[in-house]
Amino acid sequence: MVKNEVYPEMLLSENEKFERIIKTIHKRFTTYGYKRIKTSAFEQYDLYSKVNSSINQNEMVKVIDRTGEVLVMRPDVTIPITRELAQNFPILTSELRYFYVQEVFRQQIERNESIESTQAGIEYFCQSSPEADAEVIALACHTMKDLGFLDIKIELGHAAFFQEIIRKLLLTEQQIDQLKALIQAKNVVELGPYLASLDVDREMRDIIEQIPFLYGNPKEVYERTKGVVLSQEMQETLNYLMAVYDVLKMYGLDQYIIIDLGLINHMDYYSGVIFQGFVERFGKPVLMGGRYDRLGDEFGATLPAIGFACEIESLVKATESRDISSRSLIDVKIIYDPTQLAEAIAIANELRERNYSVVSLPARKEQEIRQESVCTIRLEAEKNALFYKEKTIYFKDLNELVDLLVGVKGATI
């Protein structure tokens, strides 16, 4: 008995939350001028083997169609969108803003995680500039704020920083991986000895050994870089990041931004700024993104772009500890005396027309249906009452009620 009651409630609230998060994200992306698009659930396997080192091919879910051709279930959205655009626009003639909310499928090799997850993300096809990049990061921040997170941190880095280092060092594939792992882990203990074993010149060693400390408040990081001799390209990269940060300050978001020059994204196609977002009490990034100006080249087009994506399932988990009370609230509950059925239906209809969510029930069911609501309306034979925030207001008819609710809705609903 108890089981029957609790389980659907749990399932319902998870789904409700899921939908609410999508709705919030949808709304926010739209306000920045993004248009929703969809891509096919099945993609050519060749498409993904063509684009170098983006998604591990072992992680893709493969299927074979009637003709024996190998297809994959959409492991990401960025690559199909870029391919699609490349076929229509060899050169970007005007800026394009798209967003998507769809499932992606990846099977993690060692982890027992769900194959399917829902990604919401944007792709902004435009030339690289601090304003454009900052706008995308601002949108990411804004979206997280909409979802009710308070302690948001966006780590900002630049793909060119590490690429510049490895271009100068002439290392083997294996050595690059090792160096990458040490930098990603900010492993100060082993980084120095490892560099010594690689026979890297003094100047470069100083830079690389400093990377783990080039993390934190952008101004402080900038000050700290003055202690090392950066190459001209590195200095330009850093100046670009600071320019992005200056624009973010104008958005009033400076307290959320951290610079991390040791940030190296898993997706190798990133070429410019890269970033990832964290929120309080959740151990993994809730969003990831960056600029990928050269991905279009793979399909013979010039399509500079920046984008980010977040996983809805992670966001549902990240919001788990908060927001419990408002989770399943509906706007209005009508409890009516059996003689007032017609009146109850009329009011419910009218309010639903005005986009209130309404549940109505006869007084005898009151104990059974424990639906929480923002306001409660009681229709009795002699008097009608509206209960809102411990206040009781009596009303005569529908018109009076609507006037009352407009006042209430203006405030909270």
Partner 1 sequence: MTQLTIAMGKGRTADRAMKLFEQVGIRFSDYHDKSRKLVIYDDDNKVKLIFVKAVDVPTYVENGAADIGIVGKDTIMEDPVDVYELMDLGIGKCIVAVAGFPEKEFTNGAPLTVASKYPTIAKDYFTGQGIRVETIKLNGSIELAPLIGLADVIVDIVETGTTLKENGLVVLEKIADVSARVIVNKASYATKTSQIQQFIGDLKAALE
Interface with partner 1 (CB under 8 A):
151, 153, 155, 181, 184-190, 212, 215-216, 258, 278-285
Instruction: Give least dist CB 267 to partner 1, A.
Output: 15
Nearer to partner 1, 151 or 246 (CB): 151
Cross-strand bridge partners of residue 116: 105
Instruction: Give least dist CB 174 to partner 1, A.
Output: 8
Nearer to partner 1, 31 or 187 (CB): 187
Nearer to partner 1, 23 or 284 (CB): 284
Nearer to partner 1, 183 or 230 (CB): 183
Nearer to partner 1, 183 or 334 (CB): 183
Instruction: Give least dist CB 213 to partner 1, A.
Output: 10
Instruction: Give least dist CB 177 to partner 1, A.
Output: 12
> Alpha-carbon distance 188 to 182, whole Å?
8
Instruction: Give least dist CB 246 to partner 1, A.
Output: 21
Nearer to partner 1, 35 or 266 (CB): 266
Largest Cα–Cα distance in the chain?
92
Instruction: Give least dist CB 321 to partner 1, A.
Output: 12
Instruction: Give least dist CB 301 to partner 1, A.
Output: 34
Instruction: Give least dist CB 221 to partner 1, A.
Output: 12
Nearer to partner 1, 221 or 238 (CB): 221
Nearer to partner 1, 166 or 188 (CB): 188
